[in-house]
Amino acid sequence: MDAISVIRTKRDRGELSPEQIDWVIDAYTRGEVADEQMSALAMAILLNGMNRTEIARWTAAMIASGERMDFSSLSRPTADKHSTGGVGDKITLPLAPLVAACGAAVPQLSGRGLGHTGGTLDKLESIPGWRALLSNEEMLHVLETTGAVICAAGDGLAPADKKLYALRDVTGTVEAIPLIASSIMSKKIAEGTGSLVLDVKVGSGAFMKNIADARELASTMVGLGTDHGVKTVALLTDMSTPLGLTAGNALEVRESVEVLAGGGPADVVELTIALAREMLDAAGVKDADPAKALADGSAMDVWRRMIAAQGGDPDAPLPVAREQHVVTAPSSGVLTRLDAYGVGVAAWRLGAGRARKEDPVQAGAGVELHAKPGDTVTAGQPLLTLHTDTPEKFDYALKSLEGAYDIAAEGTAYEPAPVVLGRIA
């Protein structure tokens, strides 16, 4: 086997053999296949696709590249959730402690930002002292004592995916459905969770721009999970508009705490509760009401214990960017569109994301929304506030917001898209 022949097979729209897939994943993990070569293969996969047989084998090879975890010693059933990535998608932060407060254990292995979408670990690392890297023993201890853990996948878990995940972020290949499906499911299956709920985003701010592609991705992942004995369900959810009122690391943590305190934006609360109900059902936990657990403070109690168990201070002030720039409404009327992709790219350019896999992120950078589609605005009122430590980034971020919102005449009827667009099981 050699990397060039594997690349040529997919470049020429051929089907990769099981032997080719097994070899290239193993060789890339060991460093025999260079980043440049895997980048070329990833681009060929993006352009020419993979069939179900190839995706299944690619996923199995990713799993086989490392260890598999076992949560059978825990005193409660496990349920995990994964989002395919969106703008302002801080749902994992309130969701994990909420589900734990209702009786399931949540072993949430999360990632960092990809392109214009935020990363859960980047967000949580804005909390002073919080650490993403835990040993397997530490992870099990936090799970048993608090009911939830959010951390990075260890080096031994699907190491092939860890390398490829970072590479996709900086080579324009994030959107490839086979690579998204295998990346997510290899980690989740190797993680050992008993059940899994997938949040597959649809819209301008998602990697899946239309409902057909989202259904294809969701069906592929549900099939992969089911074949490996993991009860898997997917919700298709709207990502044409940012979730909540913030996009950026510390900004989103602050908003998540508001949700756990019984407040927060309605769309974030709605999706958090919908996913919690799916997770509890998949885990076999009956007669638990996640809405009640948000209202009575029990989810907040789990959040505080979970953050502290990973070295964080839940009472510490969150970082604030040194510079702000306010974007005002150019006219009065009804805000009918606020493009999630434009907002996500602006947050990324302000420093909330990374252009290279080794880049740091700014904890305080991002975009704060002062209005959502359907709201009436007045000319000159704040529409968005941009946050960054590096004010020279403002002009670049503002370019991504050109044409990203529409304001119609006062009295214009607006029909919001539902948060949940469909379900696949």
Helix orientation angle between 177-191 and 159-169, rounded to the nearest 10 degrees? 150
CATH 3.90.1170.30 domain position(s) in the chain: 323-408
Catalytic residue (choose from 90, 163, 168, 393): 168
Active-site residue, selected from the candidate residues 183, 195, 256, 400: 183
Q: Is 187 noted as a catalytic residue in this protein? A: yes
Provide φ and ψ at 267, rounded to 5°.
-70, -35
Q: Classify domain 80-309 at the CATH topology level.
A: Pyrimidine Nucleoside Phosphorylase; Chain A, domain 2 (3.40.1030)
What pLDDT does 111 receive? 82
Task: Return phi, psi of residue 150, to 5°.
Answer: -125, 115
**How far out from the chain centre does Cα 421 lie?**
18
Give pLDDT tens digits for 337-347. Answer: 999 999 999 99
Are the C-beta atoms of residues 46 and 170 closer than 8 Å to each other? no
Q: What is the pLDDT of residue 174?
A: 83
- Architecture in CATH for domain 3-49: Up-down Bundle (1.20)
161 labelled catalytic: yes
CA 356/CA 171 separation, integer angstroms: 9
- Among 148-157, 284-293, 376-385, where is mean pLDDT lowest? 148-157
Residues in the chain: 425
Q: Is 82 a catalytic residue?
A: yes
Domain with CATH 1.20.970.10 in the chain: 3-49
For residues 85-98, give the mean pLDDT.
96
pLDDT category of residue 108 using cuts at 50, 70 and 90: very high
Q: What is the mean predicted confidence (pLDDT) over 337-365?
A: 92
Binning the chain into helix, strand and coil, the percentages to the nearest 5 are 45, 15, 40
Choosing from 80, 89, 122, 161, the catalytic residue is 161
Active-site residue, from 90, 116, 187, 304: 187
pLDDT digits (tens, 9 = 90+) for 245-255: 999 999 999 99
Where in the sequence of the chain do the CATH 3.40.1030.10 domains occur? 80-309
Tokens of 381: 């009122």
The answer to whether 97 and 302 have CB atoms below 8 angstroms apart is: yes
* Average predicted confidence (pLDDT) for the chain: 95
Question: What is the tens place of the pLDDT at every residue in 254-267?
Answer: 999 999 999 999 99
pLDDT digits (tens, 9 = 90+) for 111-162: 888 778 889 999 999 999 999 999 989 999 999 999 999 999 877 888 999 8
Q: What is the pLDDT of residue 107?
A: 95
Confidence of residue 356 (pLDDT cuts 50, 70, 90): confident
Q: pTM of the full predicted structure?
A: 0.90
Q: Exactly one of 10, 57, 81, 82 is catalytic; which is it?
A: 82
* pLDDT average, residue stretch 191-220: 94
Class of domain 323-408: alpha beta
User: Which phi and psi angles does 85 have, rounded to 5°?
Assistant: 105, 130
Categorize the per-residue pLDDT at 357 as very low, low, confident or very high, splitting at 50, 70 and 90. Answer: low
At 166, is the pLDDT very low, low, confident or very high (cuts 50, 70, 90)? confident
Q: In Å, how far are 125, 205, 281, 297 from 339, measured between CA atoms? A: 27, 7, 33, 34
Label residue 196 by pLDDT band (50, 70, 90): very high
CA dist 81 and 120 (Å) reads 12
Render pLDDT for 170-181 as a digit per residue (tens, 0 to 9).
898 988 889 989
pLDDT of res. 228: 87
158 contacts 36 by C-beta, under 8 angstroms: no
What is the percent of the chain with per-residue pLDDT over 90, rounded to a whole number? 85
Give pLDDT, residue 409: 96
